[in-house]
């Protein structure tokens, strides 16, 4: 089970990096980082419909990231399902009460 969780962590990191790259390559209306990194290179690589390809890639990677995160959360929460307090056993013994002191007579 831990090998599968490790594999999912690797998928999580790779998906996160690819998602960040896909978001940064998108060309916003103001120009932004997509124009600074590739300029016209994005259209040469991805074609005239580069925006559509990057949007679809972002949606798919976002869905993979979300589902992978949910699966990892579920698997790691069931692996460590024992409570920390359950491992401690019985409760600590109660401290004994100190004996009551006799009352001192008041000096009047």
Convert the pLDDT of each residue in 97-106 to its tens digit: 777 777 777 7
Whether 102 is covered by a domain: the verdict is no
Whether 107 is covered by a domain: the verdict is no
pTM: 0.55
Tokens of 24: 């940064």
What mean pLDDT is reported for the chain?
Answer: 76
- Which of 9-13, 56-60, 76-80, 88-92 bottoms out in mean pLDDT, i.e. has the lowest? 88-92
Whether 99 is covered by a domain: the verdict is no
Average pLDDT rounded to a whole number, residues 68-79:
86
Whether 71 is covered by a domain: the verdict is yes
Domain around 60: 2-78
Q: How many domains does the chain have?
A: 1
Beta carbons of 69 and 19 less than 8 angstroms apart: no
As a whole number of angstroms, the distance between CA 18 and CA 8 comes to: 15
Tokens of 62: 């976002």
b/e map 40-77, b = 16+ CB within 10 Å: eebeeebeeebeeebeebbeebeebbeebeeeeeeeee
């Amino acid at each position: 089970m831990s090998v599968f969780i490790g594999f999912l962590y690797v998928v999580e990191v790779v998906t996160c990096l690819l998602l960040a790259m896909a978001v940064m390559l998108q060309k916003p209306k103001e120009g932004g980082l997509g124009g600074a990194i590739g300029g016209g290179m994005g259209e040469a690589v991805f074609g005239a419909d580069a925006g559509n390809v990057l949007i679809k890639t972002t949606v798919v990677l976002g869905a993979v990231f979300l589902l992978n995160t949910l699966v990892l959360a579920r698997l790691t929460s069931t692996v460590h399902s024992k409570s920390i307090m359950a491992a401690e056993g019985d409760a600590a013994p109660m401290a004994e009460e100190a004996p009551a002191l006799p009352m001192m007579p008041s000096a009047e």
